[in-house]
Amino acid sequence: MVGLETLGLFAVASVASLFMAWAIGAGSSGSTPFAPAVGANAISVMRAGLVVGILGFLGAVLQGANVTEAVGTSLIGGVTITAVAAIVGLLTAAILVAIGVFAGYPIATAFTVTGAVVGVGLALGGDPAWAKYTEIATLWALVPVVGGSVAYATARILRAESVPETVAVPALGGLVGAILANVGFTVLGPAGEQGSLASLAGPLVGGGAVGTVVVTLAAASFAGGLLWLDLRRDETAGQRHFLLVLGGLVAFSAGGSQVGLAIGPLVPLLGDGIDLPVIALLVGGGLGLLAGSWTGAPRMIKALSQDYSSLGPRRSIAALIPSFAIAQTAVAFGIPVSFNEIIVSAIVGSGYAAGGSGVSRRKMVYTVLAWLGSLALSLGGGYAAFTVVDAVV
């Protein structure tokens, strides 16, 4: 029978987790996916917050398991995160993210949560998980380089007079369709695993690598062809529809990636007398993201869509495509990643494709400093806070 103390600590940890989920929904997963679309006047700020909340919830439930497990069990070795440590770590990270939301600066949530969890884990006497840190640091370092470069190149192609938009945009739509065919979903895989459309339908058309390639090409052709027909009817409307679809895909991916940052620290507690399936945590975390998106995201959507770069439809499309691809890569490998870093890098890259039009260098410097500062503060704050709480309690 579970003791009242265990239940009480888990309840407090769950409240801290919901606060973290709200902060993420308001500041990262709730604001970044549709910021380029809002900047291009394809959707209003309030409607964007509403839609992104729903899609983020679905992504959390259908794709959130990989990152959740990684945050809960892979960031520290030798010890198991306790309920008190989870509470301290989550509150430390959530407070930093909330400060960023109300100050108008997008704090990198992956930096804060990772730093806080590692900080409390070290305070518990755990060992650094250097192999996992290397994976995380490598992805974090590559995000601005890859995301910004791909966004820059894509924007240049879309702006090139030698490449008709009725060719370039459907080709990009085909690329997105190919990626989507290989995205993993919990409902498409066996118990405890994720499966993709390509892995599910591949055996029906040959199996193995051949089947995967056939399904991928079919998905790319369908997406590209559908977008080509839409552009033929109305080029401006077709661009707007593609932009909204991309925003939806990024919002879904944000839910799958970011929910683990909120509920990951609760995973070690499930083996301490708390009999709950991980899916229950995913649903709860998804609801927290949704609440944050609906109540706090509009402020950050405005900051990202207007303060970093003056975006048109082409540059917005260029920013969202690499954001979707990078997010799904992180979800597949179970690596916590900051959506603010992904989107901001892509927005700046697409902005420089037009000669740096509207890119605020001063805002970018402050943002990078805020990212690095949040990592250092969460690591040191998590360690110090748990040390004090542990000594008192």
> Which tens digit of pLDDT belongs to each residue from 101-114?
677 665 678 888 99
Tell me, what's the pLDDT at 337? 87
Angle (CA) 22 277 50, round 5°: 30
What is the arithmetic mean of pLDDT over 146-151?
Answer: 92
Tell me, what's the pLDDT at 230? 93
> 316 or 106, which is more confident?
316
Cα–Cα distance for residue pair 268/265, rounded to 1 Å: 7
User: CB neighbours (10 Å) of residue 1?
Assistant: 5
pLDDT at residue 137 greater than cutoff 70: yes
The pTM of the full predicted model, rounded to 2 decimals, is 0.85
Q: Tell me the C-alpha to C-alpha distance, in Å, between residue 174 and each of 146, 152, 220, 252, 322.
A: 20, 19, 4, 19, 14
Cα–Cα distance for residue pair 93/111, rounded to 1 Å: 9
How many domains, the chain? 1
What is the arithmetic mean of pLDDT over 147-169?
Answer: 89
Q: Specify whether the CB–CB gap between 328 and 95 falls below 8 A.
A: no
Q: Specify whether the CB–CB gap between 354 and 155 falls below 8 A.
A: yes
Q: Tell me the C-alpha to C-alpha distance, in Å, between residue 346 and each of 32, 78, 145, 273.
A: 11, 38, 9, 44
Cα–Cα distance for residue pair 370/54, rounded to 1 Å: 28
**Which residues lie across from 77 on neighbouring strands?**
127
What is the chain's length? 393
Task: Give the SS3 label for residue 195.
Answer: strand
- DSSP for 96-112, written as a single string: HHHHHHHHT----HHHH
pLDDT digits (tens, 9 = 90+) for 43-70: 777 787 788 889 989 999 989 888 898 8
Cα–Cα distance for residue pair 374/380, rounded to 1 Å: 10
pLDDT digits (tens, 9 = 90+) for 192-208: 678 888 888 888 887 77
Nearest by Cα to 327 from 246, 253, 245: 253
pLDDT at residue 310 greater than cutoff 90: no
Six-digit token string for 79:
């010890």
pLDDT band at 308 (very low <50, low <70, confident <90, very high): very low
Tell me, what's the pLDDT at 104? 61
Residue with tokens 């995973």: 267
Note the helical H segments in 195-269.
197-201, 208-233, 235-263
Nearest by Cα to 142 from 370, 341, 375, 367: 341
Helices 278-302 and 4-27 sit at what angle, rounded to 10 degrees? 30
Cα–Cα distance for residue pair 119/126, rounded to 1 Å: 10
Nearest by Cα to 15 from 72, 70, 86, 67: 86
pLDDT band at 115 (very low <50, low <70, confident <90, very high): very high
Tell me, what's the pLDDT at 341? 83
User: CB neighbours (10 Å) of residue 253?
Assistant: 28
Nearest by Cα to 68 from 78, 81, 55, 79: 81
Tell me, what's the pLDDT at 175? 95
- For all residues of the chain together, what is the average pLDDT? 84
- DSSP for 337-367, written as a single string: --HHHHHHHHHHHHHHTTTSTT--HHHHHHH
- Give the lowest-confidence range in 122-136, 222-236, 261-275, 376-390: 261-275
Tell me, what's the pLDDT at 29? 62
Tell me, what's the pLDDT at 257? 87
pLDDT band at 359 (very low <50, low <70, confident <90, very high): low
Tell me, what's the pLDDT at 1? 47
Q: Specify whether the CB–CB gap between 354 and 313 falls below 8 A.
A: no
Print the domain residue range for 291: 4-392
Note the helical H segments in 264-334.
278-302, 313-333
